[in-house]
Amino acid sequence: MIYLDAAATTLQKPDSVRQAMARAMTECGNPGRSGHRAAMRAAQVVYDCREAAAGFFGLAQPERVVFTMNATHGLNIAIQSLLRRGGHAVITGYEHNSVVRPLEHLAEKGVTYTVAKWPLFDRIAACVAVAQALRPDTRCVIVNHVSNVFGSVTPLEEIDDLCAQRGVPLIVDASQSAGVLPLDVSRLRAVAFVCMPGHKGLYGPQGTGILLCCKEKELYSLIQGGTGSASLEKRQPDWLPDGLESGTLNVPGIAGLTEGLRFVAAHREEIRGREEALCRQLAARLSGLPGITCWHSETAQSGVLSFRAEKADPETVGAFLAREGICVRCGLHCAPLAHESAGTLPCGTVRASLSAFSTACDVRGLADCVTKLVKCL
């Protein structure tokens, strides 16, 4: 099997991730609920991950690292925290449905939003579009750091500067950038929340996510319940992380995520260089084939590449590749807005996405199979 669907989840994980999860299954109880050895071991595992995440992303206080089920969970908390009483948001033209759908759900509370659109890979136009979309009643800007469809990199630092000048909080969807691109929240003035999954570029297990709460903002808990603290109080605690973490945490998942963070911290530049080099190689191979269109940039793209065949829809291409043992994703990738911005509606694209475990052999295998398909069309 050639696995090139890391933007959905990184299937290959470091051995240390699996080992940590197995240890947690046998050694860890419920953190914060008791003082016995198993509960205390679980509490230490959870805190180790908070500390690792805080250090990796430049967050001074580990307690401001909140564990979620995935990036979508975190995005819903962030969006509800800033917009549940109404107001206006600015989003980019490359957002995922995990941003668009919560905003649509909040429309009944008077929330409106403007889509800042710009041509794919045009960083200067991105800043102009966001600036023009801001209004006096804008309560937040939401930015997809790296497009899950095209791998295009949004100029986060420049947009952060713009938001800081206007006094507008910024929410960052780091689903495709966390663990790959540098992301130091101590250098970002406007960022209020950063949302990310654990199971992609951080090489943790599925069912894990991180919400970085970077500013003193009133928080909205989607779920209320037991936190192991202030049990006499009938209302949810209003401090972090307890206020946003009700119920039993996914301790084995968090243990694995800690090891994923450590793996990335030790190899981040190597991972980024590998992904970008392989992306360039794949784009060069595919662009040379008749009837194949690639969306690629030498300067503003991470390790995600979309392409399309002139004579076959993406689903047909994906089915052919699957029969050949090659794993990619086809269609709209839960991001129709990105396809609208790039002009790839209604059928979408074929997406290949790379990881630390991708190889030049994988890239050649995909290119050879697409060459074989083109000859059959």
Spell 35-58 as b/e; 16+ CB within 10 A means b. eeeebebbbebbbbbbebbbebbe
The answer on 223 and 294 residing in a single domain is no
The stretch 284-294 carries a mean pLDDT of 96
Which range of residues forms the domain containing residue 305? 2-10+268-376
The stretch 154-163 carries a mean pLDDT of 98
The answer on 222 and 77 residing in a single domain is yes
The stretch 8-34 carries a mean pLDDT of 97
Confidence of residue 198 (pLDDT cuts 50, 70, 90): very high
The stretch 114-131 carries a mean pLDDT of 98
Q: What are the pLDDT digits (tens) for 41-89?
A: 999 999 999 999 999 999 999 999 999 999 999 999 999 999 999 999 9
Confidence of residue 230 (pLDDT cuts 50, 70, 90): confident
Confidence of residue 151 (pLDDT cuts 50, 70, 90): very high
The stretch 252-275 carries a mean pLDDT of 97
- Answer whether residue 252 shows pLDDT above 90: yes
pLDDT of residue 3: 98
The stretch 128-136 carries a mean pLDDT of 98
Confidence of residue 263 (pLDDT cuts 50, 70, 90): very high
The answer on 232 and 297 residing in a single domain is no
Confidence of residue 297 (pLDDT cuts 50, 70, 90): very high
Domain boundary residue among 262, 297, 316?
A: 262
The answer on 109 and 46 residing in a single domain is yes
- Answer whether residue 377 shows pLDDT above 90: no
The answer on 214 and 346 residing in a single domain is no
CATH number at residue 372: 3.90.1150.10
pLDDT of residue 372: 97
Domain boundary residue among 262, 296, 312?
A: 262
CATH number at residue 108: 3.40.640.10
Domain boundary residue among 262, 292, 320?
A: 262
